[in-house]
């Protein structure tokens, strides 16, 4: 199968996503909410999107930065940790490292942390001088430690990094953490965070063919709209006219509310507003204390500014 030179490579936007892993569900959900319908089977390397000129390439996350940098795909979704690590590796290998960040995504949050056996003392990163550290991210770790003049011996592991100290392979580890439960279960404690990561949408560092650019221009506002919607709420309530100023003042991140007459009422109105922030119970209780009633907080599915 020629992936590089055919009509589809000119006219269909090709996006690489993780085949199966921690980014997969959120990516597929995001695409679905953007109206990108990927056909079901996860077994196929290349999935055709039926309703839009887009092809989805399902691969290991580690391959995604390279596919973008080698211009095999137009876009890719990957964790910043993998992106930066791959970039440093490719620089050393003399391979191209160009890409454009299309946008940061609101999922895939994790941190790359140093962890040591529970019982060991810790005074700071300098304790790692001369230590063996097991990690999948030797470049990110080296960048951080050499900033502080610390030398270490990397032990490269691509999985089960957290068992390395117990197995006598390393003195410490540097691994991705979300909740910390895995570390605890392995008798380790997190002592320092060296990098914070989230998922990003990246694109090749070269202008797209006009047909593809047109698809990108259609999809980017949809992606932004879905993410903005996820963080926003539609708030409705009935409120005394006399209290509108005070009520507006405590609504978090709200744009100008719509004020709607209530039939048969002269001193009360309905107030509708889109809030870009979370509305806490405490705020709702304050609103009620100011005379608001029937307070509703409703999720928003899509937004287009």
79 binds, among Zn ion, ligand ATP, none (CB under 5 to 8 A by kind): ligand ATP
| Residue matched to tokens 């995604």 | 64
Q: Which stretch binds ligand ATP (CB under 6 A): 4-12, 15-23, 200-208, 239-247?
A: 15-23
Tell me the per-residue interface mask from 249 to 268 with Zn ion, x by CB under 5 A, - otherwise: --------------------
Under the criterion CB under 6 A, does residue 21 sit at the interface with ligand ATP? yes
Please report whether residue 22 would count as binding ligand ATP according to CB under 6 A.
yes
SS3 at position 229: helix
Least distance in Å: CB of 244 to Zn ion?
53
Dist CA 117 CA 155 (whole Å): 16
Q: Residue 73: which of 201, 210, 243 has the closest Cα?
A: 201
**Cβ distance to ligand ATP smaller for residue 74 or 175:** 175
Considering only CA atoms, give the Rg of the chain.
Answer: 25
* Shortest reach from residue 63's CB to ligand ATP, in Å: 8
When asked if residue 84 is in the footprint of Zn ion (CB under 5 A), the reply is no
From the CB of residue 98, how many other CB atoms can be counted at a distance below 10 Å? 12
212 is written with which tokens?
A: 């593809």
To ligand ATP, the closest distance from the beta carbon of 234 in angstroms equals 29
Of the candidates 297, 241, 295, 293, the residue with the CA atom closest to the CA atom of residue 269: 241
Q: Angle, nearest 10°, between helix axes 210-231 and 24-33?
A: 100
DSSP reduced 3-state for 192 = strand
For 148, half-sphere exposure in the C-beta direction (CA atoms, 13 angstrom radius) is 13
Q: Which of 12, 17, 18, 274 binds ligand ATP (CB under 6 A)?
A: 18
Q: What residues numbered 43-72 form the site for Zn ion, per CB under 5 A? A: 61-62
Is the CB of 107 or the CB of 234 nearer to ligand ATP?
107
Partner from Zn ion, ligand ATP, none contacting 66, C-beta within 5 to 8 A by type: none
- Whose Cβ is closer to Zn ion: residue 61's or residue 171's? 61
- Residue 272 contacts by C-beta under 8 Å, 6 or more apart in sequence? 234, 235, 236, 257, 258, 260
CA-based torsion, 220, 224, 226, 227: positive or negative:
positive
275 binds, among ligand ATP, Zn ion, none (CB under 5 to 8 A by kind): none
User: How many residues sit in the footprint of ligand ATP (CB under 6 A)?
Assistant: 15
Among 9, 27, 81, 135, which residue interacts with ligand ATP (rule: CB under 6 A)?
81
Tell me whether residue 68 or residue 273 sits nearer to Zn ion (CB atom): 68
Q: Which of 50, 52, 45, 79 is nearest to 65 (CA)?
A: 79
CB of 200 to Zn ion, least distance (A): 15
DSSP states of 97-165: ---EEEEE-S---EEEEEEEETTS----GGGGTT-EEEES-HHHHHHHHHHTT---EEEE-SS-GGGTT
Q: Which is nearer to ligand ATP, 79 or 203 (CB)?
A: 79
Q: How many other CB atoms sit within 10 Å of the CB of residue 280?
A: 10
Give the CB-nearest residue to ligand ATP: 79
Subset of residues 59 to 78 that bind ligand ATP, contact rule: CB under 6 A: 60-62
Residues 144-203 that bind ligand ATP (CB under 6 A): 176, 178, 197
Report the interface residues with ligand ATP, using CB under 6 A.
18, 21-23, 60-62, 79, 81-82, 108, 110, 176, 178, 197
Report the interface residues with Zn ion, using CB under 5 A.
61-62
């Amino acid at each position: 199968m020629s992936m590089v030179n055919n009509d589809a490579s000119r006219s269909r936007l090709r996006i690489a996503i993780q085949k199966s892993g921690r980014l997969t569900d959120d990516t597929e959900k995001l695409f679905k909410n953007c109206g990108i319908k990927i056909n079901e089977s996860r077994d196929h390397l290349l999935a055709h999107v039926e309703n839009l000129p887009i092809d989805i390439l399902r691969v290991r996350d580690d391959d995604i930065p390279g596919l973008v940098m080698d211009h095999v795909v137009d876009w890719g979704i990957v964790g910043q940790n993998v992106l930066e690590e791959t970039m440093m590796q490719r620089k050393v290998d003399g391979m191209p490292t160009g890409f454009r960040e299309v946008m940061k995504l609101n999922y895939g949050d994790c941190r790359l942390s140093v962890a040591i056996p529970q019982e060991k003392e810790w005074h700071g990163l300098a304790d790692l001088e001369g230590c063996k550290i097991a990690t999948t991210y030797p470049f990110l770790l080296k960048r951080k430690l050499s900033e502080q003049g610390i030398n270490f011996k990397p032990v490269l592991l691509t999985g089960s990094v957290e068992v390395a100290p117990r197995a006598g392979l390393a003195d410490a580890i540097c691994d991705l953490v979300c909740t910390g439960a895995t570390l605890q279960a392995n008798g380790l404690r997190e002592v320092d965070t060296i990098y914070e990561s989230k998922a990003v949408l990246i694109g090749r560092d070269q202008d797209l063919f006009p047909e593809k650019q047109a698809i990108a221009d259609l999809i980017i506002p949809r992606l932004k709209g879905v993410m903005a919607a996820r963080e926003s709420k539609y708030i409705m309530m009935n409120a005394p006219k006399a209290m509108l100023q005070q009520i507006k003042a405590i609504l978090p991140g709200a744009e100008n509310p719509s004020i709607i007459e209530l039939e048969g009422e002269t001193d009360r109105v309905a107030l509708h507003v889109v809030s870009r922030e979370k509305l806490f119970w405490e705020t709702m209780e304050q609103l009620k204390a100011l005379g608001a009633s029937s307070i509703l907080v409703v999720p928003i599915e899509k937004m287009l500014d």
